[in-house]
Amino acid sequence: MLQCTGNRMSLFDNATAGLKIVEKAQTFIIRMVRKFSSSAFEMSIPAAFEHFTSAVSREILSNQKTWTGDKENEGVNFVLWHCLEELEHQAICHDAYKALHTSRLRLFFSLVLWVPLSMASIYSIQLYLLHKDRVIYKPRNWMPY
Ligand SMILES: [Fe+2]
């Protein structure tokens, strides 16, 4: 609910106030990673995560009908374009990492560490926004699933 405090709080500020906690947690985690890890490990993070997003993208592109049915619209086109973009991200991050580092084990550990952390971060934000919009409390929104 929007609260008018007289402090000129904008609708956006009010809607995203809870996200500041998540943002602070993310900032703290990234600060600690940068403080205690090597530059090689830092570089493995995007390489590992883009590997994950490209795997999802490859699945969607390979089995497009399963994911989008027979639909053709701007939304589907945007998703397909984004999938291709994710493949490009993976190629760039992987090539850049491999140009400077050889350890595949580091990539593996980075993937094992960051994918669950990223999912927790992404889903907590999505759940918060669904809560703020009260969408999550309406059973009709869950019925198609
Ligand atoms: Fe990406």
Task: Quick: pLDDT tens for 78-123.
Answer: 999 999 999 999 999 999 999 999 999 998 998 898 888 888 888 8
Percent of the chain at pLDDT > 90 equals: 38
Ligand 1 centroid distance, CA of 124 (Å): 20
Ligand 1 centroid distance, CA of 32 (Å): 23
Ligand 1 centroid distance, CA of 109 (Å): 19
Q: What amino acid is encoded at 17 in this protein?
A: A
| Beta-carbon count within 10 A of 23 CB | 13
Q: Is residue 8 predicted with pLDDT exceeding 80? A: no
pLDDT band at 125 (very low <50, low <70, confident <90, very high): confident
pLDDT at 2: 46
pTM of the entire predicted model: 0.69
Ligand 1 centroid distance, CA of 47 (Å): 9
Q: What amino acid is encoded at 127 in this protein?
A: L
Q: Residues within 5 Å of ion ligand 1 by Cβ?
A: 53, 86, 89
Q: What is the average pLDDT across 32-50?
A: 89
Helix, strand or coil for residue 135? helix
From CA 93, how far away is CA 116, in angstroms rounded? 20
Helix, strand or coil for residue 73? coil
Instruction: Look at residues 9, 101, 6 and name the one whose alpha carbon lies nearest to residue 48.
Output: 101
**What is the rounded end-to-end Cα distance, in angstroms, of the chain?**
28
Which contiguous run of DSSP H or E holds residue 143? none
Q: What is the average pLDDT across 47-51?
A: 89
Which comes out higher in pLDDT, residue 88 or 1?
88
pLDDT at 100: 94
pLDDT band at 1 (very low <50, low <70, confident <90, very high): very low
